[in-house]
Structure 1
Amino acid sequence: MYQKLNPPLHDKLNFSNSEGLKSNYGTERILIVYRYLSLFFTSIFYLIGTPKSPMLLKLGVIISLSIAALMITKLLLLYQDNKPFIRSMVLIESFGIVLILIPTQGVESSFIWYALNPVMVAASYLSPLFCWFTLMMYMCASTLITFNFFNSLGLKITNLIIENSYLYLVLILSTIAVQLFSNFTRELHDQAILLKKQRQKLIFTNQKLQKANQKTNEAIKHVMSLYQIVESFTSQKNLNNFLKVVTDYTVKLTKTPCSFIITKQIDTEEFSFEIRGNESKKYKGQIQIIHEIQSNWNKHQKNTNMVEVTLLKRKFSIISIQSSKHEVLIGIENQNIVHDDLTPYQRELVFLSKLCKVVLERIHLEEVTYQLLISGEQNRIANEIHDNISQRLFSIVYALHALSKNLDKMSTEQIKKDFQFIIQSTNEANKELRSTIYNLSSKKRGENLFEAKIKTYLEALEKLNHIEVDYHFFGDEQTIPVYIKNIIYRLICESTGNATRHGLCSKLGVYIHINQQIYIEIKDNGKGFKIIGNHSNKNAGIGIYNMKSLVHSLGGTIDFQSQINQGTQIQITIPQIQKLINQEVSGE
């Protein structure tokens, strides 16, 4: 299953009030800038205005108001997510500004415009009703202060309001503008939060898609590599190597802690098995698992669909398949709870089982085809010997029998004549026998078909890629079994193809030496690559992994030597040729 992402999506998309206010498109920055600018200009006009108050008093008022503005700004930034505190702070600041009007000429004070600061804070963070309440309270208080302390003309309060109506109108319109702007910024803020959530969801979905795509690409690479590997087993009789490859790739594809495959040959009832665990976990009880499955073989084979079984207190998903020659069980250990629907790993197991069946059928089909070819060739040779050599030998035997019976009756000259005829017939039979052997043996004809096949491939590679190829073949190819020739050919194709496609080489050397062992060397002057360990890491290329698997299936060794911009050298050694030949002959 897909790995659990941490933290979950709802945690990623959880925004606190503090974060929301701090991200309110710079509203607090606008409030702070307006506060200091309004304080600066109102203070300037207060200082240069009509000096009805002592200068020392004016400076004291400005300094006090500046200290208050600084404190209020810090408190606003610190507690802007606390609405009751902001409400109290707005009321306190409004009351303070009202008090400043007493020594600064009431509504004629320059600081009358500074009163918009608490109104703006209320409009930005509090309800519209509280904002209008703050404005009305300030306007009423400033009017009463002017009426009681600065009404030198003795105007009635209604006349005073009418006289300063322009001021009240500006304050009301300014408050309306502030509220409209605040609503607009709040909508922008809500849209920003929504976009941020959508962006987080998009990032989360994209991460899931990337992980799914990565897993898909990894699975495709493994499947391609597996397909290329099993191609080499369709011409081999060593079933154990094939089982090792299948279990190895099952672990890679399904990420299971344990994978096993068991085959039972139908005609001989002989079992073969392989069990593998991943590198991060040493698996115990392997033999017990195999024995438990073998003891219930018939029961498991009856299940045509994937089933879940418990082996050594571990849950496994197993699937049974059957080819023309083998009964097969493939299983993986379940890491998660299995539901009614197949998990992705179980679907991959189904795919592997089908691929395994196809390969086993191909192996059996090639064995049958090989036997038919041998049988057909044997019949052809038998007919050729029967029609030609056998008839001459029969004539010779019959002539010798007749000569032995009539030897006393024949003259010396007749005996010599018959002997000459027998010698002539024997020579003719010998010529025909040599001709038959010559036609059957490419070695007798001096033909090296395997060497010529590699040479033809390298000549085509040289022309197509405009490179220089140096090719040398030493030894007798007749000592190599056919399936080893196929593997060597694939190794040459894989290594030289990588040198031209990825290495971008201009010169290529291929050297093959066959003696008691097979030694192959491929050199190029291409870009080279950085060797990490022994290429067993997951980032190793498919081509390298395939070559290693092919060589190791023959008990050989392969060594890569490469540096960036200094080319690559591959050395392959396949030992004990005679042992491999004996295995092919004995059918192991």
Structure 2
Amino acid sequence: MQRVNHLFNLIKTSPTNAMHLSFLYRYFTLIITSFIYFLGFQDTLVLFKALVILFLGIATWVTTLILKRHAGNKSLLRIMVFADTIWIIVLLIPTGGISSPFIWYALNPILVAASFLTPLFCWGILILLLSSTTYIAYSMYQWNSFFQLIEESFSVFLVCILITILARLFSEYIQDLNQKANLLIKQQEDLNYSNEKLKETNQKYEETLEQIISLYHLMEKFVTEKSHRSLTSEVTNSLIKCTQSNEAFFWLTDPNHERSVLSNRTNNKELEEVLLKEWNQIRGKRQAFATILDKDLYWLKVVRTSKNIGVLGIRVINHQEMRDSYFLLQPFEFLAELSEIMLEQIHLEQMKDKMILIEEQNRIANEIHDSVSQRLFALVFALHSLQSRSNTITKEELTKESKVLTQSANTIIKELRSTIYRLSSVKKGEKPFIVQIKRYLEEYAHLNDIKIKQDITGNEALIENDVKKALYRIISEACGNSVRHGRCNLINIEMRLNKETVELLIQDDGIGIDVKKVIGNNGNGLGLVNMQRMVQSLSGQFSINGSKEKGTTINVEIPNIRAYKKQGVAIS
């Protein structure tokens, strides 16, 4: 069995191996049939027999030589097979026709035709051979009847037909093996190519992942420094590394283009002017898109926050390059979203600093009012007391001195009061937290071309600074989700700063969400989870409801810790 398998492997490796097998059969049948012919046919001269065998050997050698050189030429192969058949028919005339021992040698051209030529040609050669040899035998040798010849030669006919059928089946089997072998080779080549591509993609993925991790580590630095310039520069560098692009930029500005920052890693030195010229067409885009900037094609993504708007871009050869490349498109989208998060975080830290400053102003104002002012009042009373001891000094002197001191003290009191009211937003009746929230919502609506209805009531002085910070972050995150993921046109915000609780309601008319799927989808609902944790850290309650095409609703209720502390109630 191993030898048979080795034979099949030898034949299917190359068509010339099948030809070599036919040559082997040709020489084998030449020797056997020549031996039988030489020992038989007693009526034929030995010299004649030797000459026939000699000429047959020479013809075999010539035929083999020609077939070796032109095995791949089908047209020439047909001519050679046909000529070989005619030569063998001529050979069979003096050697007995169908009864000649060389009839088995005559199968050689049929085997070649069965292996390398069409079935029609193969069967035509067989019919020509059998009919010719039968006619030769009937015409030139003594047979009583044609039917007797057919009957006597039937076994030869049958064997020739069966051998031809087997040769055809064997040839088809070899061809099928060759096709499968070629298919396997092609699949192996495709697999090797895919493996190389996977290795390249995996390497790019690892490089992108490392770059993103480094950006996460740098996020704290950007937030601490509150530097838009360093942020845009680092994001631009990451764009080039993650997308394998040669040119990239990050332009950050405000609605009125009064304060702009551009990190430009392109060859276009006039890029900011080009962006300003095309800004009306660019700013309204919500998804990543391709556009031409000064004859160069760029893939862009608009970045929006509560205070800024900007655009990230990389130069591409064609827009399909980004659409078809998952490992280029995903880092680009991720860096755009990460930029929004970091910019929003910077703004939150700035808001936190402002709130701390306001809180400190109020504290200083209260201290001045409760200490210095009271002492000054005491000074006034002392002066009045001094005036009452007018017996020790002359009345004129006492009156004059007391009036001067009283006037001076009253002037100091007025100046201190003026300072106190200038520092303290509470004493002036201002509401900086509510003002900041309203200003944020107005700017966000303007930047994203949506409508935001707001209804905010209550006394912000009752609310702790941590609660204010949490409320601001929840509103920012919820508005961002409504625009980016919900694709809404209207957001309704209601906030009640009550004595005992703070209530917040946020509704939008977007496409809605599947809450369980989003929150439980391996971190894809990270923003919602963060909001929930912030509320829970303040002993509050958080709920979100949404359904497809019906919008999303967020409810928040946080107890007023400051009010409970005054009442001596513990909050669990």
Would you say the 8 A contact 1:21–1:80 is kept in 2?
no
Would you say the 8 A contact 1:98–1:141 is kept in 2?
yes
Corresponding residue of 1:293:
275
Q: Kindly indicate whether residue 245 of structure 2 is the aligned counterpart of residue 252 of structure 1.
A: no
Shift of 1:162: 3.4
* Cα distance in 1 for residues equivalent to 2:183 and 2:278: 59
Corresponding residue of 1:114:
105
Corresponding residue of 2:343:
360
Shift of 1:347: 6.1
Q: Kindly indicate whether residue 160 of structure 2 is the aligned counterpart of residue 178 of structure 1.
A: no
Corresponding residue of 2:459:
none
Shift of 1:274: 1.0
What secondary structure does 1:101 align onto? helix
Would you say the 8 A contact 1:24–1:186 is kept in 2?
no
* Cα distance in 1 for residues equivalent to 2:36 and 2:139: 24
Unaligned runs of 5+ in 2: 1-10, 393-572
Amino acid paired to 1:113: W
Would you say the 8 A contact 1:120–1:178 is kept in 2?
yes
* The one of 137, 160, 168 aligned to 2:157: 168
* Cα distance in 1 for residues equivalent to 2:185 and 2:97: 48
* The one of 216, 225, 228 aligned to 1:236: 225
Shift of 1:89: 1.6
* Cα distance in 2 for residues equivalent to 1:327 and 1:140: 93
Shift of 1:365: 1.3
Shift of 1:275: 0.8
Corresponding residue of 1:463:
none
Structure 1 339/110 Cα, relative in aligned 2: closer, same or farther at 3 Å?
closer
* Cα distance in 1 for residues equivalent to 2:282 and 2:171: 73
* Cα distance in 2 for residues equivalent to 1:340 and 1:276: 19
Q: Looking at secondary structure, tell me which structure has more helix per residue.
A: 2
* Cα distance in 2 for residues equivalent to 1:163 and 1:289: 99
Task: Map Cα deviations across residues 85-126 of structure 1 (whole Å, 9 max, x no partner).
Answer: 332222211122223334545555432211111111222233
Amino acid paired to 1:357: E
Corresponding residue of 1:336:
318
Would you say the 8 A contact 2:251–2:261 is kept in 1?
yes
Would you say the 8 A contact 2:297–2:318 is kept in 1?
no
- RCO comparison, higher one (Cα < 8 Å, 6+): 1
Amino acid paired to 1:172: I
* The one of 7, 25, 33 aligned to 1:34: 25
Task: Map Cα deviations across residues 31-75 of structure 1 (whole Å, 9 max, x no partner).
Answer: 233223323433444455577666666555445434433443444
Structure 1 318/95 Cα, relative in aligned 2: closer, same or farther at 3 Å?
closer
Structure 1 32/386 Cα, relative in aligned 2: closer, same or farther at 3 Å?
farther
* Cα distance in 2 for residues equivalent to 1:295 and 1:142: 94
Task: Map Cα deviations across residues 242-299 of structure 1 (whole Å, 9 max, x no partner).
Answer: 111111122233343422112225699222211114xxxxx2x32x122332456566
Task: Map Cα deviations across residues 374-396 of structure 1 (whole Å, 9 max, x no partner).
Answer: 665676688789989x7999899
* Cα distance in 2 for residues equivalent to 1:180 and 1:227: 68
Corresponding residue of 2:212:
223
Structure 1 329/108 Cα, relative in aligned 2: closer, same or farther at 3 Å?
closer
* The one of 306, 309, 321 aligned to 1:327: 309
Larger Cα Rg: Structure 1 or Structure 2? 2
Amino acid paired to 1:230: M
Amino acid paired to 1:324: S
Q: Kindly indicate whether residue 59 of structure 2 is the aligned counterpart of residue 68 of structure 1.
A: yes
Structure 1 57/212 Cα, relative in aligned 2: closer, same or farther at 3 Å?
farther
Q: TM-score, normalised by structure 2?
A: 0.53
Amino acid paired to 2:212: V
What secondary structure does 2:113 align onto? helix
Structure 1 339/98 Cα, relative in aligned 2: closer, same or farther at 3 Å?
closer
Corresponding residue of 1:582:
none
Would you say the 8 A contact 2:12–2:174 is kept in 1?
no
Q: Kindly indicate whether residue 245 of structure 2 is the aligned counterpart of residue 262 of structure 1.
A: no
Structure 1 104/401 Cα, relative in aligned 2: closer, same or farther at 3 Å?
farther
Q: TM-score, normalised by structure 1?
A: 0.52
Q: Kindly indicate whether residue 121 of structure 2 is the aligned counterpart of residue 130 of structure 1.
A: yes
Q: Kindly indicate whether residue 298 of structure 2 is the aligned counterpart of residue 316 of structure 1.
A: yes
Corresponding residue of 1:351:
334
* Cα distance in 2 for residues equivalent to 1:50 and 1:249: 95
Bigger shift: 366-375 or 119-128? 366-375
Q: Kindly indicate whether residue 282 of structure 2 is the aligned counterpart of residue 275 of structure 1.
A: no
* Cα distance in 2 for residues equivalent to 1:72 and 1:400: 142
* Cα distance in 2 for residues equivalent to 1:189 and 1:257: 47
Amino acid paired to 1:363: I
* Cα distance in 1 for residues equivalent to 2:321 and 2:184: 36
Amino acid paired to 1:239: H
Amino acid paired to 1:367: Q
Structure 1 320/387 Cα, relative in aligned 2: closer, same or farther at 3 Å?
same
Would you say the 8 A contact 1:264–1:271 is kept in 2?
yes
Amino acid paired to 1:177: L
Amino acid paired to 2:253: K
| Residues 40-119 of structure 1: pairs in structure 2 closer than 5 A | 40-46=31-37, 60-102=51-93, 104=95, 106-119=97-110
Structure 1 24/369 Cα, relative in aligned 2: closer, same or farther at 3 Å?
farther
Amino acid paired to 1:259: A
Would you say the 8 A contact 2:232–2:263 is kept in 1?
yes
Would you say the 8 A contact 1:21–1:81 is kept in 2?
no
Amino acid paired to 2:311: L
Shift of 1:336: 0.8
Task: Map Cα deviations across residues 392-446 of structure 1 (whole Å, 9 max, x no partner).
Answer: 99899999999x999xx9xxxxxxxxxxxxxxxxxxxxxxxxxxxxxxxxxxxxx
Structure 1 74/234 Cα, relative in aligned 2: closer, same or farther at 3 Å?
farther
Would you say the 8 A contact 1:303–1:320 is kept in 2?
yes
Task: Map Cα deviations across residues 337-393 of structure 1 (whole Å, 9 max, x no partner).
Answer: 5699797556654433222111111112123324544665676688789989x7999
Corresponding residue of 2:509:
none
Paired residue total: 381
**Amino-acid identity (%):** 32
* Cα distance in 2 for residues equivalent to 1:225 and 1:51: 101
